């Protein structure tokens, strides 16, 4: 069974929601548009495909972390330590490769598994010991800050 997709009807439905006050991601999209206009007028190379690909490449790690945090936020919790945990794992990776002479193909999975372990410890403290996620992640945020 296939349904026809009506672009005009879909746009009208979306516009009706916006007029009703259900803006959703509209402010973020408008902010992104303003940034593109401002930086596009300041530099002739900003909106080139090569630069946009470079920006997405540089933002990839942050995007992956943000996608994971969406699930935490949907559950009504908060994780303040995710960025620092990623930083600790990255620092561990660099130390293993440069100072301990581990090959990258061994250091990388160890670094990822250390991130999984850190997340599991935080999850255990929140889910099993019923410590509020704000308290646990703030404490680990501060602890990881000393480790990076």
pLDDT per position as a tens digit, 58-92: 999 889 988 988 888 888 888 888 888 888 999 99
Task: Report the alpha-carbon distance of residue 7 to residue 34 in Å, rounded.
Answer: 25
pLDDT at 2 over 60: no
pLDDT of residue 112: 95
Helix (H, G, I), strand (E, B) or coil at 13: helix
Phi-psi region for residue 99, left (φ > 0), alpha (ψ -120 to 50) or beta? alpha
pLDDT of residue 148: 56
Average pLDDT value for residue range 85-106? 94
Task: Report the alpha-carbon distance of residue 87 to residue 115 in Å, rounded.
Answer: 10
Task: Report the alpha-carbon distance of residue 128 to residue 92 in Å, rounded.
Answer: 28
Is the Cβ–Cβ distance between 53 and 113 less than 8 Å?
Answer: no
């Amino acid at each position: 069974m296939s349904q026809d997709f009506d672009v005009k009807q879909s746009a009208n439905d979306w516009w009706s929601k916006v007029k009703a006050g259900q803006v959703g991601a509209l402010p973020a999209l408008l902010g992104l548009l303003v940034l593109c206009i401002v930086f596009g007028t300041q530099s002739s190379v900003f909106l080139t495909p090569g630069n946009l690909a470079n920006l997405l490449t540089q933002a990839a790690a942050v995007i992956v972390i943000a996608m994971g945090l969406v699930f935490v936020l949907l559950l009504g919790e908060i994780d303040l330590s995710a960025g620092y945990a990623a930083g600790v794992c990255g620092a561990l990776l660099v130390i293993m490769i440069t100072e301990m002479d581990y090959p990258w193909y061994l250091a990388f999975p160890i670094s990822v598994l250390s991130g999984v372990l850190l997340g599991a410890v935080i999850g255990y403290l929140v889910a099993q010991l019923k410590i509020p996620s704000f308290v646990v992640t703030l404490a680990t945020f501060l602890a990881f800050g000393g480790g990076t």
